[in-house]
Amino acid sequence: MKDTPLSNCERDFLIKAIEEKKRLDGRQTYDYRKIKITFGTDYGCCFVDLGQTRVVAQVSCELVAPKESRPSEGIMFFNIELSPMASPAFEQGRQSELSVKLNRQLERCLRNSKCIDTESLCVVSGEKVWQVRVDVHTLNNDGNLMDAASIAAIAALSHFRRPDVGIQGEEVTVFSPEERDPIPLSIYHMPISISFAFFQQGTFLLVDPCEREERVMDGLLMIAMNKHREICSIQSSGGIMLLKEQVMRCSKIASVKVSEITELINKALFNDRTARKAGRKCGFAESLPQERITALKTDQSEVEMTDVSERASDIIQKAEAPPPMAASPVLPAPGVGQVGHGLQNTWGLEEDEEQEEESSGEEEEIKMEEEQREKDKTTEAVVEISDSEEEEVVILYPETTKKPKNAGSSSDQKGAAASKKRQKK
Amino acid sequence: MMEVSASSVSLREFGCEQTLLSRPDGSASFVQGDTSVMAGVYGPAEVKVSKEIYDRATLEVLIQPKVGLPGVRERSQEQCVRETCEAALLLSLHPRSSLTLILQVLHDDGSLLGCCLNAACMALMDAGLSMSCLFCGVSCAITADGRIITDPTAAQEKESRALMTFAIDSTERRVIMSSTKGSFSVHELQQCIAVSQKASEKIFHFYRDSVRRRYSKNL
Amino acid sequence: MAGLELLSDQGYRLDGRKAAELRKVQARMGVFAQADGSAYLEQGNTKALAVVYGPHEMRGSRSRALHDRAVINCQYSMATFSTAERKRRPHGDRKSTEMSLHLKQTFEAAVMTQLFPRSQIDIYVKILQSDGGNYSVCVNAATLAVINAGIPMRDYVCACTVGFVDETPLADLCYAEESGGVSSLALALLPRGGQIALLQMDARLHQDHLESLIEAAMTACKGVSKVLDEVVRQHLQEASVLTRE
């Protein structure tokens, strides 16, 4: 599905508004939208709302073999999934330019800045290390996905706890959370990406562009920083031409914003920790806004069960009795040598013929069994039944002659099958 | 004959929020205990020529797992949800157009498919799409000793002998879709259906309450 | 890496350069007759080949055509033999897709695309030997190729990677320095106006040092631009001599 195009009027209006230092949602030039951070029920799950933009990050881990070049370092894997839920323009399973851009920026922001101690993720050097995987799903795209994703990813990583492992000689035991408390990752610092949008060839600058603003902007500058005012990555994109002074100004703004956001993340983590310690319910379900008119919640409820049993048995009684099970082994079709029980063959055989023969075949079989028994009595010494004998057996039956030649020969084979069965017994 | 003990048959607390995302035409998140699913609906909109159906809308259902990429499990769930929605929606009202339903799993603690169905229905309602009836999803598990548990948690699912999920319509409480796993007798199946039908009343009641609450204020 | 001393006490780097010294840049323009423009550029041990086709009609999907300017299509690839370890995929992975994207951005800023509406310019760059500063070498090679193709640009685009060690910015990093855990900054500059077409930085650096690092990068870029200018002039001279005869 294509994105709804932006009309020229809207475009002109937006640009004019920006020139007058006004924004659609009433923010100032350097204002961020409201950030809300909530954590899920399990460790390492984080929801971030940045205004209307919404993302969820989930951290997971597994034991894998390390990379050959780095045998004693854990592996970090990042993936931003541009789910079609976020915007109709996102298609599933396609590597778009935007997705490459976001993924690489997140990698650069979190992996290259070495904010996580990967050496502590090593279990057995050269054999087993933890692979930590961060999945960021976009739920709603109202601009500035990068900042929301970077906040969600680092908050989820700080919230995550991996299972404890014990090593005894060669044996590695992974303890479940019940056995031993899971341990948090060691995080050195929290890089957070801040986006700046440029308009009119860099004359105007906005922090945290919303979706409409992103559509009319000329270019974007993303600066990832931590609260120690260390720049972790800078990336400019779009065909803009920046001046050095602009970059310097952006980096100053970024440092202020980052310290604010870091504070917010720490507060959210602290709140979650205290809630967990107190044994209260925490998680996404609890964060459901109760006061909104669009939301409703019920308590646990019992289901009325008084007449369920009766109704069920009623239905069964009313229903037709299931077809009786076939008691004896059935030969599904002529030409099939079958031993023991089995299902009916559903291969493309002509139905009518099959039916006919089945009944006659059964008769035959019984008769043949009798015949065989007699034979066994008389010639007990004979174990092997030769072909000629079998032919004789078939010829004994007059009804086979009534049938077309083809069927006759097939029942012949069946006779052979039946006799073989007896032999096995 | 097997007895149904009433104690195990209960629904976890559940909640729902509609219109929580700005981009999709309809959205909802449905929470059942700890299990929670978010749904978004786009459409009716332009359809790709290759997917166009001349007399009705093309419905596409996507389920996004929380970790990793969608696999076979998600595909089969997508199929179940899509068939249910197709039965309920009046697709012939929008020929040559596309409807896209995206379900994002936010937490799986059992009865995931049931929760997906509920979220899907709420999102379709929110999008204002015409439906012949509403539907809801109910999951039942049969434990090793033959008890029926409705709306099982992940732990209960693991210990159960059989797991069934039914989609039930709101008009006649008929079963639209069933998905089962494990072995059970015909009697047990009928009992589970009867239990699910009972449980569905609760859920439909909840649907009604939440919609009533939503439209309680006159503008 | 603790073992490697990237800057000695005497102020020399691993390969004997001074901190602000560039590697030797050698370049040739018009190496292929078939392409509209081509160039080969060596910067120290990093060698790159750039080819430009266009401006021509839109190829592939016509829907991508822009009504007011040309579309720039870039592809970056690395030869399988370009690194010490054989590369499996010459292009198509995340890193090279990103590099293609960055090249595209750089040249969208520099090339006067509005002169060729509804058309397409293809820029293909291949790294033959990689020894650090791949992005900047690619940009420099592509600039020469675009000039060779006769496509108007606002200015030369020159790129350079700079690192930061012991409070000193190092210009034009080689592979050993790049992998030594230095915070590196790649910058593409239009030297005349001092405009930055692309800025990219990895690894940690304190904010206070940013200004000096950008300053160093810009100086280095201006140095590169001088060399490129010389190459272009020489090429023109050769070409004009040939045509006169």
Q: What is the predicted ipTM?
A: 0.90
Q: Which residues of chain B are within 8 Å of residue A52 when distances are taken between CB atoms?
A: 21-23
Rounded Cα distance between A274 and A394, Å, is: 87
CA distance linking residue C44 with residue A317, whole number of Å? 89
> Cα(A420)–Cα(A149) distance, rounded to whole angstroms?
71
Burial group, residue B113, by CB count within 10 angstroms (0-12, 13-18, 19+) = buried
What would the two tokens of residue C156 be?
Answer: 């030369």
In a domain, B2, yes or no: no
Is-contact C40 C46, C-beta < 8 A?
Answer: no
| pLDDT computed for residue C76 by the predictor | 94
Residue pair A85/A55 in contact (Cβ under 8 Å)? The answer is no
CB-based contact (8 Å) between A231 and chain C?
yes
Distance CA A267, CA A311 (A): 55
> How much of chain B is helix, strand and coil, in % rounded to 5?
35, 30, 35
Using CB atoms, pick whichever of A1, A58, A86 lies closest to residue B100: A1
Give the C-alpha separation, C180 to B110, whole Å.
49
Predicted confidence at residue C177, as pLDDT, reads: 86
* The pLDDT value given to residue B219: 59
pLDDT for residue C62: 76
Per-residue confidence (pLDDT) for residue A238, from 0 to 100 = 79
**In C88-148, which ranges are E strands?**
119-129
**What pLDDT sits at residue A328?**
55
Do the chains B and C touch each other, judged by at least 3 C-beta pairs below 8 angstroms?
no
CB proximity A137 to B under 8 Å: yes
Does A contact C via 3+ CB–CB distances below 8 Å?
yes
Q: Which chains touch C (3 or more CB pairs under 8 A)?
A: A
pLDDT tens-digit profile of C20-71? 899 999 999 999 999 999 999 999 999 999 999 989 998 877 778 888 889 9
Residues A385, A371: contact at Cβ < 8 Å? Answer: no
pLDDT of residue C67: 84
Mean per-residue pLDDT for C141-164?
Answer: 94
Measured CA to CA, the distance from residue A248 to residue A323 in angstroms comes to 83
| Whether the predicted pLDDT of A124 surpasses 70 | yes
Q: Is the pLDDT reported for residue B150 higher than 50?
A: yes
C112-116 contacts: CB < 8 A, separation 24 or more?
C112/C151, C112/C152, C112/C153, C112/C154, C113/C69, C113/C70, C113/C71, C113/C72, C114/C68, C114/C69, C114/C70, C115/C70, C115/C152, C116/C54, C116/C55, C116/C69, C116/C70
Interface of C with A (CB under 8 A): 94-95, 97-98, 101, 105, 108-109, 185, 190, 193-208, 210-211, 214-215, 218
Q: Predicted confidence band at A289 (pLDDT cuts at 50, 70, 90)?
A: low
CA distances from A23 to A26, A30, A52, B23, C66 (A): 5, 11, 15, 20, 28
B112 contacts B181 by C-beta, under 8 angstroms = no
Contacts of A207 (CB under 8 A, 6+ apart): A29, A30, A31, A32, A194, A195, A196, A197, A253, A257
A50 contacts in B (CB within 8 Å)? none
CB B114 within 8 A of CB B139: yes
pLDDT band per the 50, 70, 90 thresholds, residue C230: very high
In this predicted model, which residue has the larger pLDDT, C80 or B8? C80
In terms of pLDDT, which residue wins out, A385 or A185? Answer: A185
Number of A/C CB contacts below 8 angstroms equals 91
pLDDT (0 to 100) of residue A409? 46
List helix spans (H) across C5-111.
94-110
Higher pLDDT, B3 or B50: B50
Give the mean model confidence (pLDDT) for residues C124-133.
93
Tell me: pLDDT of A358 over 60.
no
CATH of the domain at B172: 3.30.230.70
For chain A, the farthest-separated pair of C-alpha atoms sits apart, in whole angstroms, at: 114
Name the β-bridge partners of C29. C39
CA separation for the pair A72, A397 (Å, rounded): 81
CA–CA gap between residue B144 and residue C15 (Å, rounded): 73
A373 or B66, greater pLDDT:
B66
Task: Give the span between the Cα atoms of A296 and A288, in whole angstroms.
Answer: 9
A240 contacts C109? CB cut-off 8 A: yes
Q: How many CB atoms lie within 10 A of CB C69?
A: 18
Cβ(B66)–Cβ(B37) below 8 Å: no
Contact A41 B202 (CB under 8 A): no
In this structure, is residue B145 part of a structural domain?
yes
Q: How many residues does chain C have?
A: 245
Q: Which of C67, C189, C196 should be substituted to probe chain A, the one whose Cβ sees the most A Cβ atoms within 10 Å?
A: C196
Residue B188 within any structural domain of the chain: yes
Mean predicted lDDT score pLDDT of chain B: 90
Instruction: Output C27-34 pairs: Cβ under 8 A, ≥24 positions apart.
Output: C27/C140, C27/C141, C27/C144, C27/C227, C27/C228, C27/C231, C28/C231, C28/C235, C29/C144, C29/C145, C29/C147, C29/C148, C29/C231, C29/C232, C29/C235, C30/C148, C30/C235, C30/C239
Residues 6+ apart with CB under 8 A from C221: C158, C159, C160, C187, C188, C189, C191
Lookup: tokens for B67: 């970790």
The pLDDT of residue A284 is 55
Residue B43 inside a domain? The answer is yes
Is pLDDT above 90 for A293?
Answer: no
Q: What pLDDT digit, counting tens, does each position of C167-215 carry? A: 889 999 998 888 877 788 999 999 998 889 999 988 788 889 999 999 9
Q: Where are the beta strands (DSSP E) in A103-246?
A: 122-124, 128-140, 161-162, 165-168, 171-174, 183-184, 192-199, 204-207, 219-225, 230-237
Tell me if the bond preceding A398 is cis, omega within 30° of 0: no
Positive or negative, the CA dihedral B46, B49, B52, B58 is negative
- Please report which confidence band the pLDDT of residue A162 belongs to, taking 50, 70 and 90 as the band edges: very high
The predicted model gives A315-321 an average pLDDT of: 69
Q: What percent of chain A shows pLDDT beyond 90?
A: 39
Place of tokens 């029942």: A411
Residue A247 forms contact with C (CB below 8 Å): yes
Summarize chain C as % helix, strand, coil (round to 5).
35, 30, 35
For chain B, the domain total comes to 1
To which H or E segment does residue A324 belong?
none
pLDDT for res A260: 94
| Cβ–Cβ below 8 Å for C207 and A230 | yes
Closest CB from A85, A305, A312 relative to B9: A305
Q: CA–CA separation, A281 vs A398, rounded Å?
A: 83
Q: Encoding tokens for residue A108?
A: 């650069």
Asked if A103's CB is within 8 angstroms of C94's CB, the reply is yes
Region of C133 please: left (phi>0), alpha (psi -120 to 50) or beta.
left
Q: Which of A20-24, A319-323, A388-392, C24-28 has the highest mean pLDDT?
A: C24-28
Q: What is the mean pLDDT of residues A326-332?
A: 54
Distance CA A274, CA C76 (A): 51
A200 compared with B60, residue with greater pLDDT: B60
**Residue A58: closest CA among A77, A35, A85:** A77
Checking if the pLDDT of A346 tops 70, the result is no
Distance CA C218, CA B169 (A): 69
Q: Strand B98-107 and strand B58-64: pairing?
A: parallel
Could A284 and B19 be called an inter-chain contact, meaning their C-beta atoms sit closer than 8 Å? no
Residues 6+ positions from A75 with CB-CB distance below 8 Å: A64, A66, A67, A118, A121, A129, A130, A131, A132
CB contact A86 to B (< 8 Å)? yes
pLDDT of residue A374: 52
Residue C136 above 90 pLDDT?
yes
Asked if the structure places residue B26 within a domain, the reply is: yes
Phi-psi region of C184 (alpha: psi -120 to 50; beta: other; left: phi over 0): beta
Indicate whether A189 pLDDT > 70. Answer: yes
**C209 φ/ψ sector (left φ>0, alpha ψ -120 to 50, else beta):** alpha
pLDDT at A407: 44
CA distance B142 to B154: 13
Mutation pick from A244, A246, A256, A257 vs chain C, by most beta carbons of C within 10 Å, is: A244
E strand spans, B3-75: 10-11, 14-18, 26-32, 35-45, 58-64
Structural domains in chain A plus CATH codes: 8-287 (3.30.230.70), 351-424 (no CATH)
**Which sequence spans correspond to the domains of chain C?**
25-244
In the block, which residue shows the tokens 């100086």? C219
CB contact under 8 A, C204 and A113: yes
Between the CA of residue C239 and those of A15, A410, C51, C152, C243, what are the distances in Å? 47, 90, 19, 19, 6
Give the pLDDT band of residue A388 (cuts 50, 70, 90).
very low
DSSP H or E run through A154: helix A145-159
**CA–CA dist A194, A99 (Å, integer):** 17
What b/e string do you get for A309-348 counting C-beta neighbours within 10 Å, with b at 16 or more?
bebbeebbeeeeeeeeeeeeebbbbbbeebeeeeeeeeee
- The confidence band for B6, taking pLDDT boundaries of 50, 70 and 90, is very low
Q: Say if residue C232's pLDDT is above 50.
A: yes
Q: Which CATH architecture has domain C25-244?
A: 2-Layer Sandwich (3.30)
User: Mean of the per-residue pLDDT values for chain A?
Assistant: 78
Q: Is residue B4 part of a domain?
A: no
What is the tens place of the pLDDT at every residue in C74-99?
999 999 998 888 888 777 787 888 89
- For chain C, count helices (H), then strands (E): 4, 10
Chain B residues within an 8 Å CB radius of A292: 17
> Using an 8 Å Cβ cutoff, are B10 and A267 in contact?
no
User: pLDDT tens digits for A96-117?
Assistant: 888 989 999 999 899 888 889 9
A116 contacts A172 by C-beta, under 8 angstroms: no
Residue C86: per-residue pLDDT: 86
The confidence score (pLDDT) of residue B75 equals 94
Range with top average pLDDT, A317-331, B2-16, B186-200: B186-200
Q: Residue B127 falls within a domain, yes or no?
A: yes
Q: Is the peptide bond before B44 cis (omega within 30 degrees of 0)?
A: yes
d(CA B185, CA A224) in angstroms, rounded, equals: 60
Report chain A residues whose CB lies below 8 A from the CB of B36: 284-285
- Show residues of chain A in contact with C215, CB under 8 Å: 244
CA A219/CA A238 separation, integer angstroms: 4
pTM for the complete prediction? Answer: 0.82
Task: Look at residue A137 and tell me whether its pLDDT is greater than 50.
Answer: yes
Q: How far is A339 from chain B (nearest CA, A)?
A: 27
